[in-house]
Each structure stands twice: as structure tokens, then as C-alpha cells.
């Protein structure tokens, strides 16, 4: 067939079926055409390109094509690494975790350390786990397991011994050593400096293993319909493996790195962060950027470390240390550091969970806005669990993106057993104010915090819309006035994260946009909200190239095989 003069090259892909181009004023259309990695036509114009396209895909009835999902807060490298150790994630009892650790240790006699993640901290009362339980499975080699909050470590006695932690070891400044009644270290370490006592002893992982972890993470993302991820915790030694993965084609998703600012040495980190950003710009290709700095403002409520305006409800002596949690940064220091990195042109990404943590994060952004010249800074506060009502409107006023992990907005055991008892009913009802922030003028983005929780965006979207557990509780939804519409939730998982990523061209599927696409088995807008998570991803494209395709029989072809993805090659600019 003779190509038409205005279309010298045929489309690489034409999709015929329902296409969601965006929300509200961006209507659905009947077809979408891709060429050179970008959307080139919609509707009748795209249909006209079907006859000459390299591939034409006809969606089934009820199926939907939309912008690929994106994850505004996750830890791909940690997620990939969980694959290598004992598979303790999702196990439902201490006995099961211990048995798996014992099985894995026996299978790997060559490993000096048994390192794994991530167990459920709700399996033991108050999240306090005893070293002796692990000693039963592995008495002679050190074992260190991260809880799925990644702020807690459970060790056996040999790991405590190698770290030099004894009854005489004082609690470090940031963190504490959980003790038995006799004062001896129990085996649970909370927060930064306590965990580091053991983590600093672990043998370093090789670059090859880290690159393989990123390849595994990419496979998981592609299967779940994701093409962009914010890595929200990057240490210097992680940058080389990312560059290597990008260089060799092992990286099959777009990723922005957030380098972690340390409260004790952030001034020294500034030149190093700028140098790392430059290196990633120069060597990272089209998929990698490093434009963000991460601040851990506080801890987590279930660990009693999130920073609270009023003391925790279960504190017996209100004046006791940590009765209002454990801010990682003093508010003034956070404001000073955020202002400095903002002046260096970095996007701010602050972990804030307690109401005092959220307020300190907003104050820090406000200090940067007030001090530095105006620029397109798009600051992010992530998790946003407990917000004092007085602070809600500040998000919109300051242009702060509220990044939620929507799967957390449900009354699961983490809430009923570890959270509500710690903060009481009044404050519990203020958690995850998604609708309040969205309708008060703030931009929302969604994330998963994977491997803290599932990376599947459809599970988060279902929860944001229903505010119910997967089992359906409570029937009317938990704090139902904070539920989002399906369209709002889809936007938060696509356009909202694109905005966070400074990728305005990915906010809508219109001609010129990169063809980052996901093909769903059902339209979430037409699905029973309690069944959204059962919708299947049938295909994922990154810049027009498939990174995942489910076959009719349910099998998939290799997401990262060189001919399927080959992401080392050039992408459209
Ligand atoms: Zn995180």
C-alpha cells in the first residue's frame, strides 16, 4: 500500500476500542495510533491508520486502554532484593516466618548472614519480636529481617552479638533497642540508628545482584501496568547499579531517584548530590533521572515513632521520652535543609506521617518558598497519614503534591491493632484525607511504597474508592467522606504522578504524548468497586514498546527479553 504523503511512516501500533485519554474534559475515544514511541492520532484519524499499521490491536468488549500507571513512592531495588532472601513476606504467623528462615538457611549454607524482608510487624504483640524465636531456626549464623515498614529490624542472638548490642548498650539518638523485662536486648530494633547497628555489619551486595534485583522489579511493574516509578530512598551505592541497569537494558521502567538527606551530614551531601544528579543526566539515558531529595521527617504510628502534636494515647507517663514520637529532624533543621536543597534545584520529597510531622514538612516547604526565588518546584509530602484539619488548606496554597499510598486507607489489623489504640478514635478518623485535600485544591498522586505494600495500583485504586478492606469491612466504608471517585483515583495513579514527575506530556493521552499505555481487561469506571482489584492487566507499553503482554491462556511472554523491550536502545526524546 502506498504511504500517504502526510504519513510517510505507518503507525507501529493502532489500538481499536475504548481509550481513556484523561479525566473530565478529555473524553474517551475509539482508537489510538502510535508511531516512534508517541501517540500520533486518536479517534477516526487513528482508525484510518489501522490498515497500514505494523500491529493492530482490537480491544474486547468492556476492555480499556489508558495511560500506563505510575508509582509516586516506592523502593524498586528493595522490592527486587526481597526475591533473593527467605520469602517471609505475607506469612501469617511468627512460626511460619521462623520456619521459612530455617528452610532458607539450610538451603544456603554458603551464606554467612541470613538477610530477609519483609515480615508483618502485626504478628507479635506491639510489634516486638524476640531473638530467641529465630535462634530456634538458626542459632549459629546471624539473621536480620526487616519488617515491612522498613523502619524495624528483627535479629537473632548471633546478629545482636556481632553488632555488639548488649544490656549495656544505650539507646542511640535516633532509634531504640526493645528490651526484655530484665533489660537484655530482645531482638527488635526500631528506627535509624538502632537498625544501623546491625545493618552496618551486613556484607555488601555485588552490582550484578543489584542489577538483577532491578530487572526483577521491572518485571513486576510491567505486569502491573506501571512504566514510571519514584524511588524514594536512594543511597550513594545504589546509583551505580541503576546506571548499569540502564546501560545494559535491564531497566524496563522509567525511574526518578530521590537521594536521602541525612540530618547529621546533609551539608556535606549537597555537592555529592549535585554530582550524582549530573552523572545520572549524562549516563542514565532516557529512563533515569535524579532530580529529587528525600527527607524522612518522622517514623510510623504503629511503631510509636511518627511525630505527633499531642502524645500517643497509650503513653502512660506523658512526659516520657518519645511520648510524641520521634522526629528524625528537628523542624528548624528540616526547614533549613529543605531550603538548601531547593536552592540547588532539587525537588523535595518528605516522608510525613504524624500530624506534627506533616506540619513540620509544610513549614519546611513554606520556608523554601519564602526564602528562594520562585521556580517550578512541585514539592511532595508522602504518606500524609494524619493531618491536623488546620493544615489541610496549606497543601494547595503551597503547591504541595500529596502523595498517598491508598492501599493503607482501610481498617485492617495494622489500623485496628497497632494504630487506633495508639492515637485514639478522634485522631484515627482524620487519617488519609484524600478527598478533603483533592477538593481543597491540592494535587494528589498515588504510590505503593512497595515492598512495604503491594505494588499493584488496582488494589490501591479499589481501596481509595471504597475505603473498605478486601473482605468488605466496614460495609459503608471507613471515613467514607474521604473516598475518591474512580476517575479521581485513576487520575491520581496516572496524571497526578506524571505531574509529580515533571512529565506534563504524560498527563493526557493526546497526540504528541509518549505512548506509555496499559490495556485492562475491564473498565474500572464500569466495574463493581469491590472488584476493581480483579481487573487484569493485558498489556503494558513503554514509549510504544511492549514491556508486558498477557497471552490468551494467561501466560505472559518475557517482559524484559531483548526483543520485547530492549530498553537500552534510544527512546524518543
Ligand atoms: Zn517508602
Q: What separation in Å is there between the alpha carbon of 551 and the centre of ligand 1?
A: 33
CB atoms within 10 A of CB 133: 17
State the average pLDDT for the chain. Answer: 92
**Is pLDDT at 188 greater than 70 in this prediction?**
yes
The residue-averaged pLDDT of 322-344 equals 94
**Is pLDDT at 8 greater than 70 in this prediction?**
no
Q: What separation in Å is there between the alpha carbon of 129 and the centre of ligand 1?
A: 22
**Is pLDDT at 559 greater than 50 in this prediction?**
no
Q: What gap in Å lies between CA 232 and CA 238, rounded to an integer? A: 12
120-143, pLDDT tens digit by residue?
988 998 889 999 999 999 999 999
Q: What separation in Å is there between the alpha carbon of 141 and the centre of ligand 1?
A: 29
Predicted local confidence at residue 562, as pLDDT: 34
Q: What separation in Å is there between the alpha carbon of 382 and the centre of ligand 1?
A: 8
Q: How confident is the model at residue 571 (pLDDT cuts 50, 70, 90)?
A: very low
User: What φ, ψ does residue 445 adopt, rounded to 5°?
Assistant: -135, 150
Q: What separation in Å is there between the alpha carbon of 301 and the centre of ligand 1?
A: 14
The residue-averaged pLDDT of 52-80 equals 97
Q: What separation in Å is there between the alpha carbon of 366 and the centre of ligand 1?
A: 23
Q: Nearest CA to 354 among 335, 379, 320, 329?
A: 329
Determine which of 18-27, 52-61, 154-163, 417-426 has the lowest per-residue pLDDT on average. Answer: 18-27
**Is pLDDT at 283 greater than 50 in this prediction?**
yes
**Is pLDDT at 361 greater than 50 in this prediction?**
yes
Question: Cβ(521)–Cβ(552) under 8 Å?
Answer: no
Q: What separation in Å is there between the alpha carbon of 231 and the centre of ligand 1?
A: 8
The residue-averaged pLDDT of 349-365 equals 98
Q: What separation in Å is there between the alpha carbon of 267 and the centre of ligand 1?
A: 23
Predicted local confidence at residue 439, as pLDDT: 87
Q: What separation in Å is there between the alpha carbon of 77 and the centre of ligand 1?
A: 12
502-528, pLDDT tens digit by residue?
999 999 999 999 999 999 999 999 999
Predicted local confidence at residue 566, as pLDDT: 34
CB atoms within 10 A of CB 245: 30
Q: How confident is the model at residue 542 (pLDDT cuts 50, 70, 90)?
A: very high
Q: What separation in Å is there between the alpha carbon of 73 and the centre of ligand 1?
A: 6
Q: What separation in Å is there between the alpha carbon of 75 and the centre of ligand 1?
A: 7
The residue-averaged pLDDT of 76-86 equals 94
Q: What separation in Å is there between the alpha carbon of 449 and the centre of ligand 1?
A: 5
Q: What separation in Å is there between the alpha carbon of 226 and the centre of ligand 1?
A: 17
529-540, pLDDT tens digit by residue?
999 999 999 999
Predicted local confidence at residue 7, as pLDDT: 53
**Is pLDDT at 554 greater than 80 in this prediction?**
no
23-56, pLDDT tens digit by residue?
766 789 999 999 999 999 999 999 999 999 999 9
Q: Which three cell numbers stand for residue 531?
A: 472488584
Q: How confident is the model at residue 208 (pLDDT cuts 50, 70, 90)?
A: very high
Q: What separation in Å is there between the alpha carbon of 395 and the centre of ligand 1?
A: 20
Q: What separation in Å is there between the alpha carbon of 83 and the centre of ligand 1?
A: 18
Q: What separation in Å is there between the alpha carbon of 541 and the centre of ligand 1?
A: 26
Could you please report the per-residue DSSP string of 222-269?
Answer: HHTTEEEEEEEEE-HHHHHHHHHHHHHT---SEEEEEEEPPTTTHHHH
Predicted TM-score (pTM) of the model is 0.90
Q: Which three cell numbers stand for residue 395?
A: 497543601
Amino acid at each position: 500500500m502506498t504511504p500517504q504523503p502526510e504519513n510517510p511512516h505507518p503507525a507501529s501500533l493502532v489500538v481499536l476500542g475504548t481509550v481513556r485519554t484523561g479525566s473530565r474534559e478529555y473524553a474517551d475515544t475509539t482508537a489510538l495510533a502510535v508511531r516512534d514511541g508517541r501517540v500520533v492520532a486518536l479517534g477516526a484519524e487513528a482508525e484510518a491508520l489501522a490498515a497500514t499499521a505494523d500491529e493492530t490491536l482490537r480491544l474486547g468488549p468492556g476492555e480499556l486502554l489508558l495511560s500506563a500507571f505510575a508509582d509516586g513512592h516506592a523502593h524498586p531495588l528493595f522490592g527486587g532484593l526481597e526475591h533473593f532472601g527467605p520469602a517471609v513476606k505475607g506469612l501469617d504467623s511468627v512460626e511460619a516466618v521462623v520456619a521459612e528462615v530455617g528452610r532458607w538457611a539450610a538451603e544456603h549454607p554458603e551464606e554467612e548472614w541470613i538477610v530477609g524482608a519483609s515480615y508483618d510487624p502485626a504478628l507479635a504483640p506491639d510489634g516486638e519480636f524476640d531473638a530467641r524465636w529465630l535462634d530456634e531456626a538458626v542459632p549459629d549464623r546471624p539473621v536480620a529481617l526487616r519488617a515491612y515498614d522498613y523502619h524495624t529490624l528483627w535479629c537473632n542472638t548471633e546478629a545482636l552479638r556481632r553488632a555488639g548490642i548488649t544490656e549495656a548498650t544505650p539507646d542511640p539518638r535516633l532509634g531504640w533497642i526493645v528490651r526484655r523485662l530484665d533489660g537484655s536486648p530482645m531482638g527488635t530494633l526500631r528506627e535509624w540508628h538502632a537498625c544501623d547497628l546491625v545493618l552496618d555489619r551486613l556484607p555488601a551486595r555485588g552490582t550484578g545482584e543489584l542489577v538483577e534485583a532491578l530487572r526483577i522489579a521491572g518485571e513486576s511493574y510491567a505486569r502491573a501496568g506501571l512504566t514510571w516509578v519514584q524511588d524514594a530512598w536512594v543511597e550513594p551505592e545504589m546509583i551505580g547499579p541503576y546506571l548499569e541497569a540502564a546501560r545494559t537494558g535491564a531497566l524496563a521502567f522509567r525511574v526518578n531517584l530521590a537521594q536521602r538527606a541525612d540530618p547529621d551530614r546533609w551539608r556535606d551531601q549537597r555537592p555529592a548530590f549535585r554530582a550524582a544528579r549530573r552523572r545520572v543526566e549524562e549516563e542514565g539515558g532516557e529512563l533515569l533521572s535524579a532530580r529529587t531529595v528525600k527527607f524522612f521527617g518522622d517514623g510510623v504510628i504503629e511503631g510509636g515513632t511518627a511525630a505527633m502534636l499531642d502524645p500517643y494515647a497509650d503513653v502512660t507517663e506523658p512526659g516520657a521520652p518519645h511520648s510524641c514520637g520521634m522526629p528524625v529532624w528537628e523542624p528548624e533543621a528540616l526547614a533549613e535543609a529543605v531550603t538548601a536543597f531547593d536552592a540547588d534545584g532539587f525537588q523535595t520529597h518528605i516522608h510525613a506521617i504524624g500530624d506534627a510531622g506533616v506540619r513540620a514538612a509544610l513549614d519546611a516547604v513554606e520556608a523554601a518558598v519564602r526564602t528562594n526565588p520562585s521556580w517550578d518546584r512541585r514539592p511532595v509530602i508522602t504518606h500524609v497519614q494524619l493531618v491536623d484539619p488546620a493544615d489541610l488548606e496549606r497543601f494547595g496554597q503551597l503547591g504541595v503534591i500529596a502523595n498517598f499510598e491508598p492501599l493503607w486507607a482501610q481498617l485492617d489489623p495494622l489500623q485496628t491493632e497497632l494504630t487506633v489504640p495508639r492515637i485514639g478514635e478522634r485522631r484515627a478518623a482524620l487519617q488519609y484525607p484524600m478527598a478533603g485535600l483533592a477538593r481543597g485544591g491540592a494535587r494528589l498522586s498515588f504510590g505503593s511504597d512497595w515492598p512495604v505494600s503491594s505494588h499493584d495500583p488496582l488494589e490501591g485504586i479499589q481501596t481509595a474508592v471504597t475505603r473498605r478492606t478486601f473482605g468488605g469491612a466496614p460495609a459503608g466504608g471507613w471515613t467514607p467522606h474521604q473516598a475518591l471517585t474512580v476517575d479521581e483515583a485513576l487520575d491520581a495513579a496516572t496524571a497526578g504522578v506524571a505531574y509529580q514527575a515533571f512529565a506534563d506530556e504524560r498527563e493526557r493521552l493526546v497526540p504528541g504524548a509518549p505512548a506509555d499505555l496499559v490495556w485492562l481487561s475491564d473498565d474500572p469506571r464500569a466495574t463493581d468497586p469491590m472488584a476493581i482489584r480483579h481487573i487484569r492487566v493485558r498489556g503494558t507499553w513503554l514509549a510504544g514498546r511492549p514491556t508486558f503482554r498477557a497471552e490468551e491462556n494467561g501466560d505472559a511472554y518475557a517482559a524484559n527479553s531483548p526483543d520485547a523491550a530492549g530498553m537500552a536502545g534510544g527512546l524518543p526524546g
